[in-house]
Structure 1
């Protein structure tokens, strides 16, 4: 479940998207063990879509292993609310865990950093993504999820992992995600098949590929965000600049910390097994 990351965007095969989830599913079964796979992720999905649409379909499937990776699109909307995000994620993961599913989760890099936005534009997005990642960590610990760290610099700075749009993993990135999840599941005895290869079949995108994306598909992405995120992002950037000029920019961090604390308070209390770390926080 989730958005374009789990849908497989960035890893095109035979005219469609493959992605890490497909690659991982192929390595879960072993001799005499059949694996049935369903992908309910949809490009552009937010936590609301996962909670209200995808979760019911996933629960009806009664999965043994279920991935819930969502949050970046929430940060890119003017409706972003970290407490609502917390309630949705906690409900989805709680319902799946109650049915006995092993959960897969991941924290993600902020899009401002990936796109190389100027600091006044990037800081609000980074603040939001840090809050989302903190919630994902808390919910993962609560339900004993297999958790993957994808927000550290070793991941974000390796451009061979990313597609031309700089927002989605490329083939190698999807392969690495699948292999890291496979290793963590194998440690729990839940992956009996061979691990996915991390060696890509295609070269990483070139600078020319990135420019081509920007000139074609990228223009549509920018246009859509201009109607939604851009007006608010510019307002947030203006607030950043005003606070920086007044020497009160720490106030914005304190406000974000207060909102995050309120959101963490709505996560279901209880003993969770520790988060399984990999790739560094």
Structure 2
């Protein structure tokens, strides 16, 4: 995880969650990855960090995440820049935006994520990954519309779980639990954490790294430094930027989502809803089976 002179080189890849939406600081965004970076101090193990006093405490952090990014964007745009940075630690948290597009294909998502994880680990990076709650639940979408979105997110999470194990990632289970239902954790849009939520994510990742013996720095504080947005500010956001966000996503997704919802209603009326879940599980299994063998496995078979 450390580079020359013991410095940690941390690259963050992903979408708006990692970019820091929901955690504004000054005129920019901070977010969980930046908060985590502040606590990434290399272990004092007598390694390269002894070349100069305090040399082992350096942290080089680059945030390549972009709001709205899908797995294709991470693979084609963010990954090359991250590899050029030569990180020892890299977070890959992405996939929610894929579920909100009419082009969603779990085979494509799995292939892209596998390629990203393989390239980063082959470059010497330790991976950080996370499974996430589905957007339909977070937005309070009605059941028939929410269930297809939840099924898609479960599929993405299943792929992330398998890839995390395949590539030895530090994986955070963030798809459920108290933090998902605690409104104090979330910003006005109900999709992005607020400052408190970003701090909780950072602290949980830090705890996993510390438990694995990969950092000895101070854990990020969990208490916000800025006051939570007022109710009027939240309402204003939803009426302006929030409305625009929903409109942009619905233009692409809504026609297909209505079709999926109609299919959902028909299956529920027939008592065959389990077939939809079974079909999604089969699609995930097929997507994972189609992935190339890891480089390590190929080398072992040679």
TM class by shorter chain equals: over 0.9
| Shift in Å, 1:126 | 0.3
- TM-score normalised by length of structure 2: 0.86
SS in 2 for 1:216: helix
Larger Rg over CA atoms = 2
Which residue among 96, 102, 107 is the counterpart of 2:131?
A: 107
Deviations 1:165-187 (A, max 9, x none): 10001001111111111111122
Q: Distance in 1 between matches of 2:266 and 2:233?
A: 37
- 1:124-163 aligned at under 5 Å gives the runs 124-163=148-187
Aligned residue in 2 for 1:180: 204
The question of 1:66 aligning with 2:69 is answered: no
| Shift in Å, 1:208 | 3.4
- 1:17-28 aligned at under 5 Å gives the runs 17-28=29-40
| Shift in Å, 1:164 | 0.8
Aligned-residue Cα RMSD (Å) equals 1.6
The question of 1:8 aligning with 2:20 is answered: yes
| Shift in Å, 1:269 | 4.4
Aligned residue in 2 for 1:227: 251
Q: How many residues align?
A: 272
Q: Distance in 1 between matches of 2:263 and 2:76?
A: 33
The question of 1:32 aligning with 2:58 is answered: no
| Shift in Å, 1:268 | 4.5
Q: Distance in 1 between matches of 2:159 and 2:102?
A: 19
Aligned residue in 2 for 1:168: 192
Q: Which moved more, 1:170-179 or 1:238-247?
A: 238-247
Which residue among 268, 281, 284 is the counterpart of 1:257?
A: 281
Q: Distance in 2 between matches of 1:197 and 1:268?
A: 41
Distance 1:244 1:207, change over 3 A: farther
Q: Distance in 2 between matches of 1:8 and 1:135?
A: 24
Aligned residue in 2 for 1:82: 106
8 Å contact 2:118–2:294 — kept in the other structure? Answer: no
Distance 1:271 1:147, change over 3 A: farther
Q: Distance in 1 between matches of 2:250 and 2:117?
A: 33
Q: Which has more strand, going by share of residues? A: 2
Aligned residue in 2 for 1:241: 265
Q: Distance in 2 between matches of 1:134 and 1:155?
A: 20
Unaligned runs of 5+ residues in structure 2 are 1-12, 43-53, 297-302
Distance 1:64 1:134, change over 3 A: same
| Shift in Å, 1:207 | 4.1
Unaligned runs of 5+ residues in structure 1 are 273-281
Deviations 1:236-275 (A, max 9, x none): 1111111112222222112111111101213454699xxx
Deviations 1:87-134 (A, max 9, x none): 110111011111110000000000000001100000000000000000
| Shift in Å, 1:161 | 0.8
